Structure 1
Amino acid sequence: MQTQAAHALAADPRNVQALAQEIASIPAGTDPDEALCTLLTMTLDQARMAQEGGQRFGQRCLDAVSRHLADLSRKGAVTMAGTIAIARCYVRAGLPVPAGLEPGEQPTPHQTSPHSAREDTSPEAAFAALSASLLGDIGDDPSILHQTFAEILPGIPPDARSMLCRVAAANPDPRFEQLACAWLLDTSEQVRSAALEGLADRLAAGRLSPRALGRLAVLRSWIVDDPVRRRVDALIRSAIRSGISQDTHIAPSHRIIGCHSSPIDGSGAQSLAIALQKGRSRAIAMVLLKQRFGVKDAYIVPCANAAEQRGLLQQVTTLGGPGDVSLDYVQTALSIALADGRKNAVYPAPGLADVAEACALTTLRPTQDASAQAIVSAYDPQDALASLDPDERETLIAASADWPARYPMVTNWFEDDDDIFDGVKATSTARARATWTWLETRRDFWASIIARTALLLKDQGDPQARSFAVTAHAVSHDTPLQRIPIMAAIVDQTLEASRATSVAGDDDIMALLMNLMAPPPQPAPRQPRDKPARKRVPRKPK
């Protein structure tokens, strides 16, 4: 119910603005209402996914809320506690925090530390004092440390933010060395630059470890910006000249129990899960890939026991298919996603560095090409498909008519971009014609989804993989789309999705908002009861 309400709420920016204002204006020293924050996070997440899918209401919602928060901030109606709460909602929804929400000049961590009265206190000492309790709460999990700072940094003024990142990156604690490497993949140029400066400070102080050098050597190729990559390369050369040796034979920090993959949905999203064990502790490395966005998310989830680990793995493969894949397949899928993200100037999720280290993926690099044809070539490195005669090709393409019945995820392959039906008459014929016209502009997109599915099915030993590979080649070339059965299915599913009305109604939204934003009920006044007068007892003398 909440997911449906959040989706519908995203289509009504005024109510989202009211929700954001309620959170942004909480008094200082007050904890935000978790139910409100959860709803706003879910709503922003729905708006983000709609925006990525070409649905205009998503962009309208995000723009309207961003403008409203900026107006509130200019009027002084946003509290520091509210800023932190709003920033947390945006970060958890996978969105950048609106620039207009950034607070004005605030004391830096150095100025506000308990040691600020001492003239000889350095920023490093002040940061060490401030971070002691934070590290005690977080423990050794690098993902939690990165997430915590991701939610804190947007609420810090820019100058103080740069100083904080640089000081943290140079901090002697090895956990901050890992954090600094992850920051090189941050979406903020300011954070990336400060992390590089901190790592250079770390090297100058003789504290850069061979482990960090190995991590830098792996993730340098993931960096989208050429200037940043050149600075990382210069840092690596300086480290080698200083005598630090890179260990290229790093064993996995965990034992890999198995790898699993979800099917690939119609937006190009795919989840990968790697089951890990270290002694008696268990965990799962999770990675979310999405076409045009590369590696969207990556993190390691600790599991209480083997049963919990199995339960999480089952969730990944809920939508059909055996799910089991090889580690080689995982690395290939990640390499393609890295190349796809780099082509679209999108940084991979910083948590990928932790996943790569846990699984010893020391050779993980982007492929040279992320096109559909390149993926088909990865499926068929010996070019065996080229020897198929025309009749064999036609038979394999015709087999795509059976995909929706065999693979449940294929029934979710459809288009939902608002531009498809712009200016189109409401007749079914006109809408079908518009969908076919739209798909002509999306050949590369669908060919890539089909080719990625071929690669997945091949690793799982599915004989239908060849049908997917040949069909992907046909879609990416000049074969008329109307002659490819799966494309006809995508047209039908697109038209069906456009007719569906699965969102909650206005009454449902308002009822949910009223319940969440209403003040807590006051206890009923106690009714006086008839009772005998209390007997007076003399007090004992002291």
Structure 2
Amino acid sequence: MATKKPGPPRTSAPPPDTGHLFHEMQTEAARALAADPQNVQALAQEIASTPAGDEADEALCTLLTITLDQARMAQEGGQRSGKRCLDAVSHHLVDLSRKGLVTVGGNIAITRCYVRAGLPVPAGLAPGEQAILRETSSFLPGDETSPEAAFAKISESLLNDIGDDPSILHQAFAEILPGIPPDARSLLCKVAAANPDTRFEQLACAWLLDMSEQVRSGALEGLTDRLAAGRLSPRALGRLAVLRSWIVDEPVRQRVDALIRNAIRSGISQNRDTPPSHRIVRCVSSPIDGAGAQSLAIGLQKGRARAIAMVLLKQGFGVKDAYVVPCANAAEQRGLLQQVSALGGKGDVSLDYIQAALGFALAEGRKNAVYPAPGLADVAEACALTSLRPTQDASVQAMLSAYDPENALASLDPEERETLVAASEDWPPSYPMIGHWFEDNDDIFDGTDATSTAHAHALWTWLETRRDFWASIIARTALLLKDQGDPEAPSFAMTARAISQGDPLQRIPVMAAIVDQTLEARRAASFTIDEGMPDGVDEDIMALLMNLMAPPPQPARRPSSSKPARKGARRKPK
């Protein structure tokens, strides 16, 4: 089930025009804040202690979300500062919860921040069941005796608010479920999955890909109850047949297979030739960046309605994010597609390429025990990707075999191979993304002298341990360029082959470029934000940012003739 996202899709392209400066201000403020865990702890504590009945400060929640997101990316890149920040905040919140200082409203707000930052919510953060009952007793239905009846009554207003879009329902639950105690979480998912409303049926299918074992188990039990009650639809059966192979846990996959068999025995027919729910108007891809991230976008049309299916792939994680987002008109759709294709390269790709890239990403996720984003089920349905399955192997060799099924590269003579690898020296001008390929792991230079020679030696030694990583990025790029008809594709494929087969890295020009760019990035990072800046300027920037994040002031009423106009008070951050 897709997650509706505010604003532009998740790519590394900056927001357009006026939003760019504000986006950069938010990011820089969050990055500086993430370097000081004590301040992040204080920010999280302020939100966690939101009084009962009050709404958490939206500006503070936005700042915490961006800060957690920056720390997550730093941690994924091997920077210890990111892990220090996340660990410090997590331990502090759990300690507050243990002391009874996290309110229900504060817990919901903190949970939302973590979910939006793509992070698991700290275990032990949820308030106790007694605290939940105490704070929610005023609006829980007191005359209901069964969980099903209570859930139906509570969800009635929620369903009225979301309309026919189940993705909003998924987002609402995604930001609440991690903050509910495990047993209650499983029961809620079971009850929701069995609810007669068809939106809960789609939601339950998406929950089978959730990171939480309690959510997956509850959803599966609820779908089983749904089948027993004769309410499982052919559409749901079709979804289950597609996503069963995406499930990481073998016991869960076996239970889903049993559910599918029982559904077929009960007479539910699965339509394997379901046409796409939308017409596909364009497919584009970003280049693969230095972290192994790649954005895929599919333009969709249904009647006069427009939408975009977005998928974010990331090396080591597989399908990191996926969702279908509606567009107001054709111009907005073109603009969002352009944001992805404008990152460099030709942009346009075939749907066959997208399905192949997804197959490799799903296989990598299974290898690393990482579930794909639940929204992939929506993308697959919208584009009729009924045969989308993980490939048998996500290795460099498997990708090169897909690139070169005839094994023509191996038949080249040594001089031809060397020429193709040497051509990687000329890649950067034609492929700007390569200028951002570098390593940023803090472990690289541990224990080395501060000299440039020592740093270079340490980096070459480090890259020997990263052959598979860079060979994978380059092999993925070769597949992308081949689909786009780029004549340089064989150079990328042969370079990936040389790296993976143990050729000396210092004789591969693109690896020398990665070394130079890493050392340059390291030198740039050595200049901190405080150098050359007067004391207190960071606080001034933060105050300005918080003030900008506040909603605009309401238009002033025209003063009456008998009273002078009041002077405007300084606006406080909301």
Normalised TM-score (structure 2): 0.88
Q: Is the 8 A contact 2:104 2:135 kept in 1?
A: no
The whole-number CA distance in structure 1 between the counterparts of 2:204 and 2:191 is 10
Letter in 2 for 1:15: N
Q: Partners in 1 of 2:87 and 2:174 — Cα distance?
A: 22
Q: 1:53·1:417 contact (CA, 8 Å) conserved in 2? A: yes
1:81 match: 105
Match of 1:400 in 2: 424
The 2-side partners of 1:265 and 1:143 are apart by 29
Which position in structure 1 is the counterpart of 2:5? none
Q: 2:119 maps to what in 1?
A: 95
Matches within 5 A, 1:154-303: 154-303=178-327
Which of 443, 455, 459 in structure 1 is aligned with 2:483? Answer: 459
Do the aligned residues in 2 keep the contact of 1:450 with 1:472 (CA within 8 Å)? yes
Question: What CA distance in whole angstroms lies between the structure 1 residues aligned with 2:366 and 2:522?
Answer: 32
Q: 1:510 aligns with which of 503, 522, 539?
A: 539
**1:70-104: per-residue Cα shift (whole Å, max 9, x none)?**
12112222221111111100000000111121110
Contact 2:479 2:489 in 1 (8 A): yes
Q: Distance in 2 between matches of 1:400 and 1:163?
A: 56
Equivalent residue number for residue 133 of structure 2:
107
Secondary structure of the 2:232 match is: coil
- The answer (yes or no) to whether the contact 1:36–1:516 under 8 Å persists in 2 is no
What value does the CA root-mean-square deviation take over the aligned residues?
2.3
In structure 2, distance between residues paired with 1:191 and 1:508: 46
Alignment partner of 1:390 is 2:414? yes
Partner of 1:476: 500
Match status 1:64 vs 2:93? no
* CA deviation after TM superposition for structure 1 residue 142, in Å: 2.7
Give the stretch that moved more between structures: 424-433 or 127-136. Answer: 127-136
Select which of 370, 373, 378 maps to 2:394: 370
Q: Letter of the aligned partner of 1:217 in structure 2? A: A
State the shift of 1:485 in Å.
0.3
How far is 1:123 from its partner?
2.1
Q: After alignment, is 141-150 or 105-114 more displaced?
A: 105-114
Give TM-score, length-normalised by structure 1: 0.93
The letter of the residue matching 2:316 is R
Partner of 2:347: 323
For the structure 1 residues 503 and 100, does the alpha-carbon distance in structure 2 shift closer, same or farther, using more than 3 Å as the test?
Answer: farther
Shift, 1:113, TM fit: 6.8
Distance in 2 between the 1:11 and 1:111 partners? 40
Partner of 2:51: 27
1:490-528 CA deviation, whole Å, 9 max, x = no partner? 00011011111376448454334455779x9xxxxxxxx
Is the 2:100–2:127 contact (alpha carbons within 8 Å) kept by the matching residues of 1? no
Distance 1:30 1:503 in 2: 38
Matched pairs, number: 524
Determine helix, strand or coil for the equivalent of 1:325: coil
Distance 1:235 1:56 in 2: 44
Structure 2 counterpart of 1:9 = 33
How far has the Cα of 1:317 moved from its partner? 1.9
Distance 1:273 1:443, change over 3 A: same
Match of 1:116 among 142, 161, 164: 142
Structure-2 residue corresponding to 1:423: 447
* Residues 1:65 and 1:118: Cα distance change in structure 2 (over 3 Å): closer
CA 1:78 to 1:111, structure 2 compared with 1: closer, same or farther past 3 Å?
closer
**Distance change in 2, residues 1:306/1:274 (3 Å):** same
Distance 1:13 1:336 in 2: 37
What's the counterpart of residue 44 of structure 1?
A: 68
The answer as to whether partners of 1:420 and 1:438 remain within 8 angstroms in 2 is yes
Distance 2:343 2:361 in 1: 21
Are residues 1:311 and 2:335 paired?
yes
Residues 261 and 323, structure 1, Cα contact 8 Å, conserved in 2: yes
Contact 1:165 1:191 in 2 (8 A): yes
Distance in 1 of aligned mates of 2:179 and 2:278: 35
Deviation at 1:114, TM superposition (A): 5.6
Residue 213 of structure 1: CA displacement? 0.8
Counterpart-to-counterpart distance in 2, 1:253 and 1:65: 43
CA shift for structure 1 position 291: 0.2
SS at match of 2:190: helix
For 1:468 and 1:350, the matched residues in 2 are separated by 32
- Whichever residue aligns with residue 37 of structure 1, its letter is C
In 1, the alpha carbon distance for the partners of 2:430 and 2:475 equals 17
Report the identity percentage.
Answer: 78
Contact 2:424 2:495 in 1 (8 A): yes
Shift of 1:111: 8.1
AA paired with 2:29? A
Instruction: Look up the match of 1:536.
Output: none
The one-character-per-residue Cα deviations of 1:335-382 (angstroms, maximum 9, x if unpaired) are 000001111110000010111011100000000110111111111112
Aligned with 1:419: secondary structure?
A: coil
**Equivalent pair of 1:109/1:164 in contact (CA under 8 Å):** no
Residues 197-247 of structure 1 deviation map (CA, whole Å, 9 limit, x = unaligned)? 000000000011111111111111001111111111111111111111111
Instruction: Map 1:350-365; keep pairs closer than 5 Å.
Output: 350-365=374-389
**In 2, distance between residues paired with 1:228 and 1:14?**
40
Of 183-192 and 154-163, the range deviating more from structure 2: 154-163
